[in-house]
Structure 1
């Protein structure tokens, strides 16, 4: 059994030192890895990234992350990735990594992802150059996730994104902004890449549980959604479909909240929840 701690949208700022690390105390007793689904910072500054690094440097488990749209706002994503790397945090973008968990190999492939919408209400790369650029970027990052998943040599594959691959986990958000919260191209990558679990953030007012058309469980782990420092899931590797089988076989994967003590979370920063448009 692989135990995964996951959270997104922690939105740490320069006034946040000492607020998140205490929430992570004891995570090593509960999980084998911590996955962070983007929006680690408030405004994408290096100074904020240094705060994040300070909160995660002593984590009791390996930490794997993707960046979110907030982390790109300061136009310094490469510098943020470098600061996080110095603290031992592995940041993925169209790439993957494999961790040994006992005798099991856990593979995580990640991308920030992008918007575009979902079946029946999505954009297309037709018309104005800006619209074509928007949708083509969504397709490109999704293709990168598919390749990264396919390249993993592991027993269990997890897709980690910031934007949502399905509309299910956006329930509670205003439908008008769904195209800016995720894209069905990500779900196609998750299914084609034979992931066993998909985790994302971004939708603060969304819903935790969803599923792709191919049957892959999807979890929205944005901190305002899960309501605690992190969510805990167990993946039964014995139930996971072997590589090369149909994605529908993932219906037999056991993914459930882990019972036991939950570390108390610190109060949410007001700016991460009050304005649903700007907060993302």
Structure 2
């Protein structure tokens, strides 16, 4: 799918972990009131709702109605909580938000590929598919999510590309969280598709107390844009801005 014409410079605003609740009416829209003037695309990195209910999704849709630029994103683990991710996706897409789950879209000449991602750990701590069948299922889920991202990336034909996840693909951006929960914040397997299909940047959320920036072992910039983390940074931004191009 393609939206709008290619541009020499594309400004991307990215944020995750909005955690829209029943009580969130009129609290999310102010966070994005400047985004139409400052960015060309809004990227949403999962945990868009707090319990994954249709009521929360409808509230979020209303809160984002004032965002006139294209919106693209992925779901997070909270969006699956009540077992209605398809309904959440349907509501958000009817509100003009492109939700990616192994798909790709072109906006303003930039290719966006997205998937939720999954847990599993990083480096030597990456969970291996050995032992109980339950462990093997966890590992396979992480592999499947990495394959979704790879499949989406493989379909892009744009010069500039951006990957979107909810879970972290590198340890760098979860630093600051308790070490004990690192394996639940992401998985290094999610970075493997970028070795074959490099991108200009990757955005994710989920690690509320992590680090805002990191890199894959091949040098791809990774940005943690969880809203609780952004609010701790100097000047307390409510989204991350990144400009691609001249």
TM-score, length of structure 2 as denominator length: 0.92
Q: How many residues align structurally?
A: 233
- Local SS of the residue matching 2:149: helix
- Local SS of the residue matching 1:182: coil
> Equivalent residue for 2:93?
85
1:213-232 aligned at under 5 Å gives the runs 213-227=217-231, 228-232=237-241
> Equivalent residue for 1:48?
56
Q: CA RMSD in A?
A: 1.0
> Equivalent residue for 2:35?
27
One of 216, 228, 244 as aligned partner of 1:235: 244
> Equivalent residue for 1:132?
136
Cα distance in 2, alignment partners of residues 233 and 196 from structure 1: 10
| Residue segments in structure 2 that go unaligned for 5+ positions in a row | 1-8, 232-236
| Residue segments in structure 1 that go unaligned for 5+ positions in a row | 239-280
Cα distance in 2, alignment partners of residues 28 and 153 from structure 1: 27
- Highest relative contact order (Cα 8 Å, sep 6+), 1 or 2? 2
1:260-271 aligned at under 5 Å gives the runs none
- Confirm or deny: 8 A CA contact 1:191 1:216 kept in the other structure: no
Cα distance in 1, alignment partners of residues 57 and 36 from structure 2: 23
> Equivalent residue for 1:57?
65
Cα distance in 2, alignment partners of residues 190 and 70 from structure 1: 26
> Equivalent residue for 1:98?
106
Moved over 6 A (4+): none
> Equivalent residue for 1:248?
none
Cα distance in 2, alignment partners of residues 214 and 164 from structure 1: 16
How far does residue 23 in structure 1 lie from its aligned partner after superposition?
A: 2.1
Cα distance in 2, alignment partners of residues 154 and 145 from structure 1: 16
- Local SS of the residue matching 2:26: coil
Cα distance in 2, alignment partners of residues 81 and 211 from structure 1: 30
- 1:160 counterpart = 2:164: yes
> Equivalent residue for 2:208?
204
TM-score, length of structure 1 as denominator length: 0.81
